[in-house]
């Protein structure tokens, strides 16, 4: 079976572009050129007697399963809206205060229903059909290490393992992500507790973090044919902690993870440092390591004021030093990004905090910061995607294409945030593919069948170390036996992103 390689010729590019038309749902007809990710598929078959190994350079194409095992208000506002009749000071703003407000018994009831229903096997199947080959599962530490004096409830593990079982059946690889640490590593609601972070102020917090990480890594070891990556901690903030202290934790976590799962991908967050400073977070002794960076353009008062062309241009500017690091050090995965360029999304800045767009974000914006004379979180910038104009949907597609042109082709890959939401369309991967502002790719996730049916095992992807920088790109090795499989590669046309502004 031949190795799939990038088609660099003009003929290859034309074939890729034709395939892209079939791969993604169309947007409304327009006389203007539409940017597209060019996508090609190839069918390859082997006989039952054949056993071949194939390497391809298919990147990580993932979606986050966020807001399930660590609740975020903007992903599922209804869990918090049940308290809106209370005084503002008594309305919960994160999972800690949500469980305080509900009490242990009712919190367990409501959250078990949420864990059971918010993500389903059908969601994973749908994403695999659109080209997703990885999922990232954010998990709060309290799923593994909960003390009696904390209001959180546990019981998430059976539901996480059900996700792993579905992923095994479908053929998705999984990254387990420790998304919240004791004391909060950043003070954001996405850590489980909004407010002043206390994480590194206490060795007890660090030890509990490592205990949760050890149990999560043991889960990875137990599900080694499904879990390929461990993110040791999401978004520890360099604004809160000295970089040298975060790096010390990373080193301690590395030794712990490698003692349990020697081959799993070891994934660290950039702590919001600029790419030129990332080498301070990386040890040359690490193997199978990736840098995780999160790229957004709406959590900044200047970027919110930019017009659509500027947002698209900013994608390449923000990625320039990232791609340099990727080529000279460990690989980089964009662990979070979205289609949004505004902060109108309900609760996106935190419950009760307002927006830069309308000038209502407490302590940040005292006047509207959108790029228009009138700033309103309605229409194209509201929560009802059926009210989006054709122009805005075309912009969303152009903006996503501009991001994927880099994340999919020049880095180790990406995870869209999020797989779905209750009412945040630009953050909803499944909806975006359905509506056409997120492109589809050929399916590359396939179930691992038993030997009589033939796909026997899929080896872990191999990434270079920092000391091997400049070597081969990322290799994902598969063993195939007795099946016909569809494999895909991508190229990107970057010459014609046209917008009518």
Beta bridge partners of residue 269, listed in sequence order? 292
In order of 16, 126, 210, the CA distances from 206 in angstroms are: 49, 38, 6
- Its sign, for the CA torsion 178, 179, 182, 183, is positive
- Asked if residues 419 and 66 have their Cβ atoms less than 8 Å apart, the reply is yes
What string of H, E and C letters represents the secondary structure of 238-253?
CCCCCHHHHHHHHHHH
Active-site entry in 95, 336, 426, 458:
336
As a whole number of angstroms, the distance between CA 348 and CA 75 comes to 9
As a whole number of angstroms, the distance between CA 353 and CA 356 comes to 10
235 is catalytic: yes
106 is catalytic: no
Active-site entry in 235, 358, 426, 458:
235
- Number of neighbours of residue 169 by Cβ within 10 angstroms: 15
Measure CA of the first residue to CA of the last residue in the chain; give whole Å.
48
- Residue showing tokens 């990386």: 282
- Asked if residues 36 and 17 have their Cβ atoms less than 8 Å apart, the reply is yes
As a whole number of angstroms, the distance between CA 118 and CA 124 comes to 12
- H helices within 364-496, ranges in order? 390-407, 429-435
Number of H helices, E strands in the chain: 12, 12
Catalytic annotation, residues: 235, 336
């Amino acid at each position: 079976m031949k190795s799939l390689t990038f088609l660099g010729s003009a003929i290859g590019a034309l074939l890729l572009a034709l395939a892209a038309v079939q791969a993604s749902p169309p947007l409304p007809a327009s006389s203007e050129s539409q940017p597209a990710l060019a996508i090609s598929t190839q069918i390859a078959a082997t006989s039952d007697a054949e056993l071949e190994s194939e390497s391809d350079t298919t990147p990580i194409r993932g979606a986050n399963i966020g807001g399930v095992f660590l609740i975020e208000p903007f992903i599922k506002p209804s869990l918090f809206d049940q308290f809106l009749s209370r005084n503002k000071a008594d309305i919960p703003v994160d999972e800690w205060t949500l469980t305080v407000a509900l009490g242990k018994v009712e919190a367990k009831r409501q959250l078990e229903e949420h864990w059971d229903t918010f993500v389903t096997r059908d969601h994973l199947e749908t994403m695999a059909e659109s080209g997703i080959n990885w999922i990232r599962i954010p998990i709060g530490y309290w799923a593994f290490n909960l003390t009696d004096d904390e209001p959180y409830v546990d019981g998430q593990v059976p539901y996480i393992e059900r996700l792993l079982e579905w992923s095994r059946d479908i053929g998705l690889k999984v990254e387990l992500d420790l998304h919240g640490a004791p004391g909060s590593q950043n003070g954001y609601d996405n850590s489980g507790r909004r407010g002043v972070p206390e994480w590194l102020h206490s060795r007890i917090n660090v030890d509990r973090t490592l205990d949760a990480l050890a149990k999560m890594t043991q889960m990875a070891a137990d599900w080694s044919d499904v879990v390929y990556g461990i993110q040791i901690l999401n978004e520890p903030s360099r604004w809160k902690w000295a970089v040298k202290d975060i790096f010390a934790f990373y080193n301690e976590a590395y030794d712990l993870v490698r003692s349990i799962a020697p081959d799993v991908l070891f994934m660290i967050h950039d702590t919001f440092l600029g790419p030129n400073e990332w080498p301070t977070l990386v040890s040359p002794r690490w193997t199978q390591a990736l840098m995780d960076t999160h790229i957004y353009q709406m959590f900044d008062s200047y970027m919110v004021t930019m017009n659509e062309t500027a947002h698209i241009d900013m994608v390449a500017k923000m990625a320039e030093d990232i791609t340099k690091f990727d080529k000279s050090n460990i690989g980089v995965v964009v662990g979070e990004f979205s289609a949004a360029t505004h902060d109108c999304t309900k609760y996106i800045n935190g419950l009760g905090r307002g927006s830069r767009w309308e000038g209502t974000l407490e302590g940040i914006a005292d006047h509207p910061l959108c790029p228009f004379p009138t700033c309103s979180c309605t229409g194209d910038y509201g929560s009802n995607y059926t009210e989006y104009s054709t122009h805005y949907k075309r912009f969303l597609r152009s903006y996503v294409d501009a991001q994927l042109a880099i994340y999919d082709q020049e880095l180790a890959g990406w995870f869209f945030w999020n797989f779905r939401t209750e009412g945040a369309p630009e953050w909803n991967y499944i909806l975006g593919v359905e509506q056409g502002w997120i492109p589809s790719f050929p399916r590359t996730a396939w179930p691992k069948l038993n030997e009589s049916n033939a796909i026997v095992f899929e080896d872990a992807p191999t990434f270079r170390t920092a000391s091997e920088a400049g070597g081969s790109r990322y290799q994902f090795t598969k063993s195939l036996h007795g099946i016909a499989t569809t494999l895909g590669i991508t190229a990107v046309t970057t010459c014609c992103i046209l917008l009518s502004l």
